[in-house]
Amino acid sequence: MADEAKAKGNAAFAAGRFEEAAQHFGDAIALAPDNHVLYSNRSAAHASLGRYSEALADAERTVALRPDWAKGYSRLGAARLGLGDAPGAVEAYEKGLALEPSNEALTSGLAQARQAASAARRPGASGADGIGKVFQGPELWSKIAADPTTRRYLDQPDFVQMLREVQRNPGSLNSYLSDQRMVQVLTLMLNINLQHKSNGASESAAAQSAPQTPKQQPEVKAREPEPEPEPEPEPMEVTEEEKERKERKAAAQKEKEAGNAAYKKKDFDTAIQHYTKAMELDDEDVSYITNRAAVYLEMGKYDECIKDCDKAVEKGRELHADFKMIARALTRKGTALAKLAKSSTDYDVAIEIFQKALTEHRNPDTLKKLNEAERAKKELEQQEYFDPKIADEEREKGNEFFKQQKYPEAVKHYTEALRRNPKDPRVYSNRAACYTKLGALPEGLKDAEKCIELDPTFSKGYTRKGAIQFFMKEYDKALETYQAGLKHDPKNQELLDGVRRCVEQINKASRGELSEEELKERQNKAMQDPEIQNILTDPIMRQVLSDLQESPQAAQAHLKNPGVMQKIQKLVSTGIVQMK
């Protein structure tokens, strides 16, 4: 019974299901509590999950049961190194080498531990710095690419960025160990891997947990110099099955790469074929499904895309896949749903899916798509609400309330009219008049400007805007507005009267007829105007103003310049400059 549980643990470990492997080894230990090999294997499983405290406990039990077994010290050294205890790791590897001087795994592990210990003795160094050094060797990328279980991580930009950060700063490793991908790569770099031996006298599926030197190959399968006293050969069926599984995974990865190449060339049919083949070869990698979904999305086959995304999410939950992969599938589903939307309510489902994706991983691209979907929903709602006939009815109701001087009620109906028909300049003009009566001048000015934008020839827009600017005592701006309206309607009496009123106010300032209080108020208001601020900070205008005071002859030359003269007039109209 213990052998059966152990065999299940070996198979799970080889498949990268370390949690399951640890559980099976635990079941085997319950049946054979004095078997040192079982503790050794469970120590490797715990280390692969980044649970170095549990790995250390099992390694210590291994050494206690078989103090003359060199491999136990390899486990002990790896666990201590994982916990940042580099000196303790050195001690463990040295004890193992004392038992078996030619063991390459122990030798390379000792070198790594000594390097980590040396780094820890430097100021500011830490245990994480030491173990993080294994990511700085030149063989890092080739090892990850060579291993079928980690190769796919190189296609994930966020993981590549994490690796580069650890390369730059080994001390940052601990902050990334919550990511299962980083734990798996760490165990690969530390050479923690259950290996199947063809020699029945060797430990079955026991992993070499010692760290590797940069020149060491990813997996060293060395025959033990002394036969194990407890031969535990693996069943031939398990070995062949695992071999076939690895071959299928490798073939699936090649299909994925071919699919990626076809996708980049926009050969979508070929890409679909390769991704489908990859899914048939390996049903434990969600990326094949999400990639095919992306192709369907590009092809406009949105229903197929949604089906693949649902499948990817379901499979990802089952396999405990990276949350970012789940978010990616949900984002693609939301995108497909948004493409299929025909009405504003159709966007509700897409928006909900984007929000779910953001709970998995807050990705800027997903957030952007959510904002786009919400904006599109709002635009469709406006289009669906559009009804010029009802808009005219609401405008007439607003006119009646305006005549009755019930301005808030009038604003309400004008606003509803604009919801029904946002392109009617008359309604903006009427609502601007209401806002003016209510003293809401900024809102009225905004409506008047919108009115002019919709119909630059509509005189009422200019009279509304000019009147508001006049009430705000921005006489020079009001004058410009009235003059702009006269270009479209030269005989409009309201515009002509507006020009006259503005000129009178501007001339009062020019003649010095303003009271001290009026002058101060006008000057304070003018100083808040960006245009006035620009004039006063312009070096040329500062010189002109200086000449006006100190050198009248030079000032006359400046005033011949139309641009300068216009700016002087603006300063005079606002009371900043007074002519005597």
29/97 same-domain check: yes
Is the residue at 67 inside a domain? yes
Which structure tokens are listed for 563?
A: 């641009």
Tens-level pLDDT at each residue, the chain (580 residues): 678 888 888 888 877 788 898 999 999 999 889 999 899 999 888 887 878 889 899 999 999 999 998 889 988 988 888 888 888 989 999 998 999 888 887 888 888 888 877 766 655 444 555 566 667 665 677 778 778 888 788 778 788 778 777 776 777 777 777 788 888 887 777 765 444 333 333 343 333 333 333 333 333 344 444 443 333 333 333 457 777 888 899 999 999 999 999 999 999 999 999 999 999 999 889 999 999 999 999 999 999 999 999 999 999 999 888 889 999 999 999 999 999 999 999 999 999 999 999 999 888 999 999 999 999 999 998 888 889 999 999 999 999 999 999 999 999 999 999 999 999 999 999 999 999 999 999 999 999 999 999 999 999 999 999 999 999 888 889 999 999 999 999 999 999 999 999 888 888 766 666 677 776 777 777 777 788 788 888 888 888 778 777 777 776 777 778 888 778 777 776 666 665 5
Residue 58 corresponds to which tokens in the numbers above?
């099992």
CA 387 from chain center: how many Å? 40
Phi, psi of 206 (to 5 degrees): -85, 135
Q: Does residue 59 belong to any structural domain of this protein?
A: yes
DSSP summary character for residue 32: -
| Alpha-carbon Rg for the chain in angstroms | 39
CATH of the domain at 575: 1.10.260.100
Which residues constitute the domain of residue 37? 1-119
Whether residue 74 is found in the same domain as residue 11: yes
Of 129, 164, 190, the domain-final residue? 190
Residues 83 and 175 in one domain: no
Angle at 245 between CA 180 and CA 227, to 5 degrees: 85
Q: Helices 425-438 and 441-454 sit at what angle, rounded to 10 degrees? A: 160
Residue carrying structure tokens 């749903």: 337
Is 162 inside a domain boundary?
A: yes
Do 78 and 153 fall into the same domain? no
Say if residue 78 is in the same domain as residue 111: yes
Same domain, 94 and 36: yes
Q: Which phi and psi angles does 7 have, rounded to 5°?
A: -65, -40
Same domain, 69 and 167: no
The residues near 244 (Cβ < 8 Å, ≥ 6 apart) are none
Distance of alpha carbon 493 from alpha carbon 485, whole angstroms? 11
Helix (H) or strand (E) holding 555: helix 552-559
Structure tokens at 229: 């006293």
> What confidence score (pLDDT) does residue 170 get?
74
Is residue 68 domain-resident? yes
**What's the CATH number where 92 sits?**
1.25.40.10
Residue 473 lies in a domain: no
Q: What is the pLDDT of residue 561?
A: 82
Residue 350 belongs to a domain? no
Q: Is 481 left (phi over 0), alpha (psi -120 to 50) or beta?
A: alpha
Residue with tokens 């209401």: 434
Residues 37 and 105 in one domain: yes
Instruction: Judge whether 92 lies within some domain.
Output: yes
Answer whether 451's CB lies under 8 Å from 461's CB: yes
Which of these, 88, 69, 70, 68, lies nearest to 78 by C-alpha position?
88
Q: How many domains does the chain have?
A: 3
pTM of the model: 0.40
- DSSP codes of every residue in 163-219: HHHHHH-GGGGGGGTTSHHHHHHHHHHTT--EE--SSTTSPTTEE--SPPPTTS-S-
543: in domain: yes
- Can you give 60-116 as a three-state secondary structure string? HHHHHHCCCCHHHHHHHHHHHHHCCCHHHHHHHHHHHHHHCCCCHHHHHHHHHHHHH
- Residue finishing a domain among 160, 190, 220: 190
Indicate if 9 and 87 belong to the same structural domain: yes
Residues 81, 6 share a domain = yes
Which residues on adjacent β-strands are paired with residue 194?
Answer: 207
End position of a domain, from candidates 190, 223, 250: 190
pLDDT at 209: 36
DSSP character string of 480-535: HHHHHHHHH-TT-HHHHHHHHHHHHHHHHHHTT-S-HHHHHHHHHHHHT-HHHHHH
Backbone angles phi, psi at 294, to 5 degrees: -65, -35
